[in-house]
Structures are given as C-alpha cells and as structure tokens.
Amino acid sequence: AKVRHYKFDVGYFFKSVDCVDKLVLGINGQFPGPTIRAEAGDTLDIAVTNKLSTEGTSIHWHGIRQIGTPWADGVVSVTQCAITPGETFHYRFKVDKAGTYVYHGHYGMQRSGGLYGLIIVDLPKGQKEPFHYDGELNLLLSDWWHKSIQEQDVGLNSPTESFRWVWEPQSILINGRGQFGCSLGANFINHTLPVCQFKGDEECAPYILSVLPNKTYRLRIASSTSLLSLNLAISNHKMVVVEVDGNYVQPFTVDNIDIYSGESYSVLITTNQNPNQNYWISVSHRDYNVSTTQALTLLNYKSVHASVLPSFPPPMTLPWNDYEGRKAFTKKIVALKGSPQPPKYSQRRVVLLGNQDVLNGYYRWAVNGISLSLPPTPYLGSMKFNLKNAFDWQDPPESFPQDYDIYIPTTYHNATQRNVVYKFQFNQVVDVIIQNSNSYIPNTTSFHPWHLHGHDFWILGYGEGKFKDGDEKLFNLKNPPLKNNLVVFPYGWTAIRFKTDNPGVWSFHCHMEPHFHTGMGVVFAEGVQYVKEIPEEAIACGLTGKMLMNKKIH
C-alpha cells in the first residue's frame, strides 16, 4: 500500500461547460476535478487549498467510510470547520475498499456549482474482480444551472413571499460537458432545437467514448447531480450491472439504469454490434415537471470516425411517472453471493419522516418535525470535548406521531429548526426506516435519495404506505445489497440496517442539494469517546477554536 499525494486548489473560473460561458467551481483549473485513482489499502493525502476569495469550502469523499479518520469526512459543521480563503486543509485517510466513488464540496451549495470529481479504487495487485473486462470507461453525470449558486442559495433561503425555487437545470452533463441550445439528436427528436455542430475541440463538445469491437468494457458511472434522478441507456447494447456504491452485486442485465444522486454503478457492455456505425449514449432525467433536454454522446467504434452520428434515433426518455419501472429496477439490486450478511436482529429502530412545511415564514424540509440547522462549532469536536453550549444535546424523536397522515400535506405545523443529534451506543445494530410523505402541495411527493456518511448499510426492503410494527417481517435478510445511498419511493418507506462501529459523527441526508440545504437531514453520533486526536485544523473555529486558544495561553 502506498501514500498518494494530491494538491487540490479549489477555485472559480470561466468555462463554457454547456456552450454557455459561466463561472464554474473546479479544482486546479479543471472541471470536473481530477480523477483520483488508488488501490484498496492506500492512503490518500490531499492538501485542499481554498482559492476562493470570499467563501469557505470543504470536500467530502462520498462512499469512503473514513474508518478511524472521522475528521477527514469533509462536512462543514459536522466533522470540520470550513476551510477559509487562503487556508489549506489536509485530508489524510485510507481507501479501504475497491469501487467507484465521487468526491464533492460539502459546504453551502458548492456541489451544485461544479465542485466534484471521481474516485476510483482498484483492487490491490494480484487480486481479481469477480468479473472480466478488457477496458474501462468512466462517466461522471451531473446537472447544471445557469443561475449562480449564490442566487440559488438566497432564493431557497428567502421568506415564502420572496422564495425562489431553483427550478430545472439547464443541462445534464456527461463528464462535465453538455449542450445547451442544441442537440446531437435533434434530427430524430421532435423538438425545436438545431443539431449541434462541433469541430470537436470546443469546451462543450460531447465527451465521446471510443471502443474496439468485440471487447467487454467496464463502464463506471457516478452521479453527483444536485437535483435530478437520471436514466442512462446505450442504443443496442445491454448492460450487466456488477457494482453499486462500491459493492459487488449479483449481476443482472438491463437496457437502461436509473441512477440517483450520489449513486455509483459499474456495468459491463460488450461491443458486439455492427462495427460500421456509432451508437448513442443517452442520459435523461426521471423527474416530474422538468423538461431539461436529454444529454447525448457517442459510443464510438474505432472502425468509424468519432463524429459520425448514428442513423437512428437515440434511446427514448422514459416517463417520469413510470414508478413501477423505477421500483422494479431498484429491487433488482441484491448482494453478490458470498457478500457480508446483515446481523439477524437490530437493537434500535429509528423511523424518520421527511416532510416539507412552512416554518417561521420559510419553506423548510424537516425530519420528525426538526429542520436541521448546522451549528457554528463542528459536532465532532464539541461532542468529543463535551461542550455543553455548542449545540442542542436533547435527544431527537425516534419516530413521528402515530396518527400522521402521509397522504396529505403536513397537518402538524410544529416543526422547529434545531441542531440535535441521534446518539447511538457504540457497536449496536441499528435499523433506520425512511418514511416518505406528501409534500407541501396536495397530491404530490418526490423521490428522495438519501446518503449515509461513515458507513455502508444493508437495504433490507422497500414498502408501500406507512411503516408499521410487523413490517420487519418483510425484510430481506438473505441477500440485501450493501450501499451508501438509498432511494425512498413516493408514499413508501425504505429500511436499512448498519452497525455503529465507526467512531465519529456522521450526516445522513437527502442528497438533493436544495433539500439538504433547507433542512432535510439528520446527524448520527457513535463511539465519539473512541475518536483519536482530532487535527487542530479541523476544529479551529467556534467554541472548539476558543478552547484551543485558551489551552495555548495557559
């Protein structure tokens, strides 16, 4: 195992990512940020310098569990202080498990502004994947707004009368490139856009994937969207899903995959089609009331020139309300035979109801009646040093009121904005049930993709309606997939199980940036007394910052 050093300078620069010149947040002048590549067991040492002139920043390594290094998780107010302009923060942690991951900003709405990249962890030399492939291609998917993240942020956090929703993204990006105002498939799709004309060296020219005929390729696909749920398809090519969120799954074959924000997949494709033409790669969205154009690029058989467009239409965008199709796909994901199995029983169950409400004149998301507001002193330090005034130490509710009707807009308007923490005993088996409910508008609800930091969890099952005692009989304890993201379907619930064996403070939140940013998240803490010495740079702010100064003076 090696130590791999990186230097990341976070900054804004102008770039025409979707053919419209705009500020983008990137790293070392690159957008998306550089791909990190390492072997399982390696240590990454990444010096992140904030080159922004007026904002703090941080980077979260999504899917890396940070075993023994909770201060390197990159969540401002939870595991560290924001990196202030000009400062450098040293992230040093082990990548212990092979797989496909992303990293992204975890402060304000910086992910939405473009602060993200891929992490690919290979097996150590000599170890073999449980599947074969000849080559590898990477796809990082995201959504892109022309409105600045400052405008998005202020719009979301304004009182209801001046509230501005972010609305739909202008483009879907494939490896940081999109085409606004034109489409490669315009000739086939019945809309008013012109066909894009590219020489190939434009900043917004599509990122083309070139392959040799009759080979098997591993496509690593990750989504860091701020909002959209995506669907990816390649014309004429089946995909065999083999990895999800850094864990092997029982291989299954599909024509297209759904991919929610924060998820990552590896699929195998075989280039056994007519080698005298190119094929469409299509990334469309699955969201209600969004009309963002489907992103297109080409799977280019090297026997053909890369710019030759297929003579047939791109894969169709699937309807947003194809709930059954979406559920069927998600439920196909089960663990590869021989994967670690979940403990048979849990010792604690927390049921979390996410809903939207008006709170003190603002639209906010709440979980069990509490809208998360992050404290100025990061939890990790204040819990470790028992700082009683750093946040609200009261225990949040384990569930929501029995008689809550999940099918109507919220009726109990007593949500509050707080910064409480779910405190778990160390080494306990915990079940968390995420309960979906109606949003602020009658007869509407959305899918929410949730992400847990510091852990993988088993997805034990999905159910319709309100979770009730006895529903645990429906749990799959035989081959539940290990993941770090889950999706909760409209008016349904999703159950996960994990062991609280990683000392630290971990966020668990909806991965849609505007939802998390307005309160849709919770904080879990476990075994904080076992956290080893926290680097000073992680806690040199708020009350822990004062504590450090006092120590130095006396």
Q: Which residues bind to Cu ion, rule: CB under 5 A? A: 448, 510, 512, 515
Smallest distance, ligand C2O to C-beta of residue 102, A: 7
Residues 27-66 that bind ligand C2O (CB under 6 A): 60, 62
Q: Which of 227, 207, 243, 201 is nearest to 97 (CA)?
A: 243
Query: 């239409």: which residue's tokens?
Result: 313
Element (H, E) at 502: none
Binding partner selected for residue 515 from ligand C2O, Cu ion, none, CB under the kind-specific 5 to 8 Å limit? Cu ion
Of Cu ion, ligand C2O, none, which one does residue 448 interact with (CB within 5 to 8 Å by kind)? Answer: Cu ion
Minimum distance of ligand C2O from residue 366's CB (angstroms): 18
Stretch that binds ligand C2O, among 35-43, 149-157, 322-330, 505-513 (CB under 6 A): 505-513
Only one residue has tokens 């202008």, namely 170
- Indicate the SS3 state at residue 211: strand
- Tokens at residue 389, please? 């005034």
The stretch near ligand C2O (CB under 6 A) out of 90-98, 234-242, 373-381, 507-515 is: 507-515
Token pair recorded at residue 23:
């500020």
Stretch that binds ligand C2O, among 155-163, 198-206, 337-345, 504-512 (CB under 6 A): 504-512
Q: How many residues bind ligand C2O (CB under 6 A)?
A: 10
Q: State how far the Cα of 172 lies from the Cα of 225, in Å rounded to an integer.
A: 9
Q: Which is nearer to ligand C2O, 106 or 326 (CB)?
A: 106
Q: Tell me the C-alpha to C-alpha distance, in Å, between residue 454 and each of 4, 69, 70.
A: 21, 10, 8
375 binds ligand C2O, rule: CB under 6 A: no
Instruction: Report which secondary-structure segment, H or E, holds 363.
Output: strand 362-367
Out of 32, 33, 262, 354, the residue judged to bind ligand C2O by CB under 6 A: 262
In whole angstroms, the minimum distance from the beta carbon of 232 to Cu ion comes to 21
To the nearest whole angstrom, how small is the minimum distance from the Cβ of residue 349 to ligand C2O?
23
Q: Which span sits near ligand C2O by CB under 6 A: 15-23, 123-131, 353-361, 506-514?
A: 506-514
Cβ of residue 481: shortest distance to Cu ion, in angstroms?
Answer: 21
Q: Smallest gap, in angstroms, from Cβ of residue 73 to ligand C2O?
A: 9
Q: What strand order describes the sheet that includes 43-50? A: 22-27, 3-15, 43-50, 88-94
Place of tokens 């894969």: 315
- Is residue 520 within 8 A of residue 417, CB to CB? The reply is no
Q: Which is nearer to Cu ion, 352 or 510 (CB)?
A: 510
C-alpha to C-alpha distance for 342 and 32, rounded to whole angstroms: 36
Helices (H) and strands (E) in the chain, counts: 6, 32
For the CB of residue 454, give the shortest distance to ligand C2O in the complex, in Å.
10
Q: Does 507 interact with ligand C2O (rule: CB under 6 A)?
A: yes
Q: How far is the CB of 507 from ligand C2O (least distance, A)?
A: 5
Q: How far apart are CA 370 and CA 366, in angstroms?
A: 5
Three-state DSSP state, 265: strand
511 binds ligand C2O (CB under 6 A): yes
Nearer to ligand C2O, 237 or 453 (CB): 453
Tokens of 136: 């590898």
Could you give the CA distance from residue 532 to residue 405 in angstroms, rounded to a whole number?
Answer: 44
User: CB of 262: closest distance to ligand C2O in angstroms?
Assistant: 5
Nearer to ligand C2O, 104 or 220 (CB): 104
Query: How far apart, in whole angstroms, are the C-alpha atoms of residue 257 and residue 470?
Result: 32
Q: Output b/e per residue, 297-334; b: 16+ Cβ within 10 A.
A: bbbbbeebeeeebbeeebbebbebeeeeebbebbeebb
HSE value, Cβ hemisphere, 13 Å, CA-based, for 497: 22
CB of 223 to ligand C2O, least distance (A): 10
Q: How far is the CB of 155 from Cu ion (least distance, A)?
A: 17
Specify the residue, 173 or 510, whose C-beta has the smaller distance to Cu ion. Answer: 510
Is the CB of 22 or the CB of 509 nearer to ligand C2O?
Answer: 509
Could you tell me which residues are beta bridge partners of residue 218?
Answer: 136, 268
515 sits near ligand C2O (criterion: CB under 6 A): no
Among 65, 418, 451, 455, binds ligand C2O (CB under 6 A): 451
Shorter beta-carbon distance to Cu ion: residue 246 or 262: 262
In DSSP terms, 145 is beta-bridged to none
CA separation, residue 242 to residues 100, 118, 133, 201, 265 (Å): 11, 18, 11, 34, 8
The site partner of 483 among ligand C2O, Cu ion, none (C-beta below 5 to 8 Å per kind) is none
- Tell me if 514 contacts ligand C2O by CB under 6 A: no
Angle (CA) 290 291 295, round 5°: 115
Which one, 94 or 451, has the nearer CB to ligand C2O?
451
> Which of Cu ion, ligand C2O, none sits in contact with 510, Cβ below 5 to 8 A by type?
Cu ion
The whole-angstrom separation of Cα 165 and Cα 182 is: 25
What residues between 87 and 116 interact with ligand C2O by CB under 6 A?
Answer: 104, 106
Q: How far is the CB of 222 from ligand C2O (least distance, A)?
A: 10
Residue 542's SS3 state is helix
Q: Pick what 512 binds: Cu ion, ligand C2O, none; C-beta below 5 to 8 Å, kind-dependent.
A: Cu ion
Q: Which residues bind ligand C2O (CB under 6 A)?
A: 60, 62, 104, 106, 262, 451, 453, 507, 509, 511
